[in-house]
Chain A
Amino acid sequence: KAGVTQTPRYLIKTRGQQVTLSCSPISGHRSVSWYQQTPGQGLQFLFEYFSETQRNKGNFPGRFSGRQFSNSRSEMNVSTLELGDSALYLCASSLLATGLRNTQYFGPGTRLTVL
């Protein structure tokens, strides 16, 4: 079974631009969560989608948004990029919504650099 895939793997943007990241979950998984990982803060939860609905949101500004499609693929958008948005963005999929017992499996991440 193929794992979680994320595209692109690397991105370089400049301040003020916007960016869209994509995540394809493991086949059959309906829940997708997004995390931001930086050296100082570790993994910070952004949001979770289940059956095209945002189930939960972390403490990030409204510049960070996401959506999920009917095939469970998910996209994350960051508008008006700031230098501090440079990070590894990780997508995790799970079979069920994360309010139930199940395991999150991570993709390889998208390394975003904002200049």
Chain B
Amino acid sequence: EDQVTQSPEALRLQEGESSSLNCSYTVSGLRGLFWYRQDPGKGPEFLFTLYSAGEEKEKERLKATLTKKESFLHITAPKPEDSATYLCAVQLLTGNQFYFGTGTSLTVIP
């Protein structure tokens, strides 16, 4: 069964304390892996797409990496405004839908 698991469920960091969020997947064939940020009561905001193992993408304090089994979202020196829920999703080679993980709720304390 195709599955996407994110860990940890919740993460509290001090401002400036770097960390990583994990998204592991067991799917029949991966077309792409996506990271989104979601603020409370709003729709997910697109961050990154990764297509191949070894690929990396960066944006400000965020860096996403992909292996054959998982993806990491590294947050360097986070700020309070980085507080949000981070979602990962996979698009399969077959079929026409995205599968989402349940997200990691990140809180950055000043």
Contacts and interface: CB of A to CB of B under 8 A. Distances in A.
B contacts with A: majority SS: strand
B43 A108 contact: yes
A55 to B, nearest CB: 5
Contact-size category for B: 20 to 34
Contacts of A33: 97-98
B8 interface: no
Output the residue of B36, B49, B97 with the most chain A CB within 10 A: B97
A33 B98 CA distance: 9
Given A98-B91, A105-B46, A108-B42, A45 B32 contact: no
Interface in A59-115: 88, 90, 97-99, 101, 103-109, 111
B95 A99 contact: yes
B33 to A, nearest CB: 11
Contacts of A35: 100
A100 B32 CA distance: 10
A58 interface: yes
Given A4-B43, A48-B97, A55-B96, 17 more contacts: A6-B43, A42-B100, A42-B101, A45-B98, A48-B96, A56-B97, A90-B44, A97-B96, A98-B97, A98-B98, A103-B34, A103-B49, A106-B36, A106-B46, A108-B42, A109-B41, A111-B41
9 contacts: A4-B43, A33-B98, A42-B103, A43-B87, A56-B97, A58-B97, A90-B43, A101-B51, A109-B41
